[in-house]
Amino acid sequence: MRRARLAVLAVVAVTWLWAGRAAVAQENAACLGCHEAAGTEVTFPDGSRLGATVHPQRFGASVHAPLPCVTCHAGQTDYPHPPRAARSARAYQVAAQQICATCHAEAAAAYAAGSHGRAVARGATDVPLCTSCHTAHEVVPPATAAFRNNAPELCGNCHADEALMARYGVRVVYQAYTEEFHGVTTRLYRIVTPMSPSPAAVCSDCHTAHRVLPPTDPASTVSPANVLATCRTCHATAGRFFATAWTEHRAPSLRFATLVYLVQVFYWILIPATVAVLVALTALDLWYWVWVRRRRRRA
Ligand code: HEC
Ligand code: HEC
Ligand code: HEC
Ligand code: HEC
Ligand code: HEC
Ligand code: HEC
Ligand code: HEC
């Protein structure tokens, strides 16, 4: 599949060089003449709406910049555009993700086999489409630091939402992730060194990006049989019991992961107590120093 994509890239690149980048830009300018205006919208029969503004600079900076708009929108060459079949914005978006599948068949097949894709096929409206995670016109390479460091927030948009997850009987996991080692490190990278990708595990390192499955599914990368192999992709020397260090996306408490919780409590007390003693010692020392000076002066 990579070969097919590279072939597309090669054809596009050659066309681009031969016909000139300017030709594509000029062709796209005809569409952008109307579509760069803010506030352009499509209204669907059920009343739902979708913004129809495409940002020229951000499209130009995306991985698909060499593509003419009509590669993906073959039906829209003339205006007024032909009538649309979709009754709602969601139905339009679900149909439009087939556009991505034409060139990225591998990602699309993995997605269709995973929980998200299967739920879309059942008609669920709360699950992500290709464009929910990648956008339609501002696609960046997922290997960039910005995309990687932001991946937990991307998944967290839904996996932090109590009401949404309850409807599907899935536990909320985002909050616990932000408090465990990998989450803390990744957040630090996002804030302090946003130009470097976090080495710690983000959601997709353990769950994959597209074929996400419940841990109860034997094919899942985090099923009891597979989880150690998943950890070992980074912790190469991890022993047999390594995965038991995993606290299942749950905050440790007296009842759950008791030892981890007690160590946590120990540090909660130890660190502030150490700081308090140090501050008190410094204060006493300072006070003694002033006291001695005063006595000497008086004497
Ligand atoms: C004269 C202005 C104009 C031009 C030129 C234009 N569009 Fe549009 N387009 C619109 C408007 C307005 C809408 C909102 C819905 C509608 O009126 O059809 C829209 C909607 C769309 C949609 C979403 C709805 C649908 O029918 O799928 C797509 C995709 C689209 N345009 C692509 C393009 C492409 C690609 C080009 C260039 C080849 C282009 N447009 C040229 C004005 C224009
Ligand atoms: C790589 C394929 C691809 C290219 C290239 C592309 N589009 Fe799109 N476009 C899509 C997809 C997929 C959607 C459906 C997006 C969604 O889920 O909302 C879409 C949707 C749209 C819409 C409907 C509103 C929306 O955002 O959903 C408009 C308007 C549009 N495109 C215009 C353009 C214009 C103008 C260009 C060229 C500058 C362009 N597109 C280039 C794939 C593409
Ligand atoms: C006409 C073919 C075509 C279509 C349609 C298309 N892409 Fe691409 N896409 C490419 C090419 C070519 C590249 C650059 C080569 C590569 O990295 O695979 C690319 C790159 C990407 C990348 C970066 C890959 C990487 O490894 O850095 C992502 C992510 C991506 N596309 C997502 C999408 C999404 C989402 C859609 C639908 C909105 C879409 N593509 C539609 C051809 C296409
Ligand atoms: C839930 C969010 C999400 C959805 C939905 C999603 N992706 Fe991705 N995608 C990602 C993440 C995260 C990565 C980075 C994976 C990595 O670095 O291991 C990625 C990577 C990619 C890549 C780069 C190469 C690869 O396969 O790793 C392509 C191409 C791509 N996605 C296309 C698509 C297409 C096409 C769809 C729809 C069928 C889609 N994605 C749906 C999150 C998503
Ligand atoms: C738009 C909301 C949304 C986004 C974004 C999203 N998910 Fe989901 N996810 C869901 C919903 C809803 C389900 C439940 C689907 C079902 O059970 O049919 C789900 C199911 C899952 C499951 C299976 C859980 C189980 O026990 O059934 C995993 C694992 C998962 N998602 C991981 C991820 C990862 C990793 C990301 C980011 C790369 C992500 N999700 C992004 C909404 C989302
Ligand atoms: C993408 C690579 C990656 C994957 C996959 C991964 N980890 Fe990590 N992990 C790291 C990095 C890097 C660190 C050190 C930085 C930090 O503490 O976040 C780390 C730290 C840890 C720590 C803290 C102690 C230490 O060695 O620093 C534990 C425990 C841990 N990981 C357990 C796991 C478990 C269990 C799994 C599998 C369920 C797993 N990891 C999967 C990259 C990964
Ligand atoms: C270090 C590996 C690792 C990382 C990183 C990770 N997970 Fe998990 N995840 C697991 C394992 C192992 C399980 C299965 C055991 C369990 O339930 O905790 C799991 C379970 C889940 C479930 C199933 C919960 C249920 O009720 O069925 C979801 C959903 C999920 N993770 C989403 C995410 C999201 C979203 C992120 C990022 C914010 C993430 N995971 C990051 C390893 C990881």
The set of residues, in sequence order, having a beta carbon less than 8 Å from that of 249 and lying 6+ positions away, is 171, 173, 176, 177
- Measured from the CB, is residue 35 less than 6 Å from ligand 7? no
Helix (H) / strand (E) containing 184: helix 181-192
Provide the pLDDT for residue 205.
97
Report whether residue 133 contacts ligand 2, using a CB cutoff of 6 Å.
no
Q: Residue 11: its pLDDT value, please?
A: 63
Closest ligand 6 atom to residue 243 Cα is 35
Nearest-CA neighbor of 201 among 227, 220, 223? 227
Q: How far is the C-alpha of 243 from the C-alpha of 77, rounded, in Å? A: 54
CA angle 152, 154, 155 (to 5 degrees): 70
**First-residue to last-residue Cα distance in the chain:** 91
Nearest CA to ligand 5 atom 40: 155
Kindly list the distances between the CA atom of residue 129 and the CA atoms of 86, 107, 133, 191, 299, in Å, as whole numbers in the listed order: 16, 12, 7, 27, 83
Q: Is 230 in the pocket of ligand 6 (CB under 6 A)?
A: yes
Mean pLDDT by 10 residues, the chain (299 residues): 66 58 80 94 96 95 95 91 94 96 97 97 96 96 96 96 96 92 94 94 97 96 94 92 77 75 82 94 95 91
Q: Does any ligand 2 atom lie closer than 6 A to the CB of residue 12?
A: no
Q: Are 130 and 106 in contact (CB under 8 A)?
A: no
pTM of the full structure: 0.89
pLDDT for the residue numbered 248: 72
Q: What residue has token string 């005809």?
A: 30
Q: How far is the CA of 279 from the centre of ligand 4 (A)?
A: 51
Around 147, how many Cα atoms within 13 Å sit in the side-chain half-sphere?
13
Q: What is the pLDDT of residue 247?
A: 67
Report long-range pairs for 241-249 (Cβ below 8 Å, ≥24 apart).
Answer: 247/176, 247/180, 249/171, 249/173, 249/176, 249/177
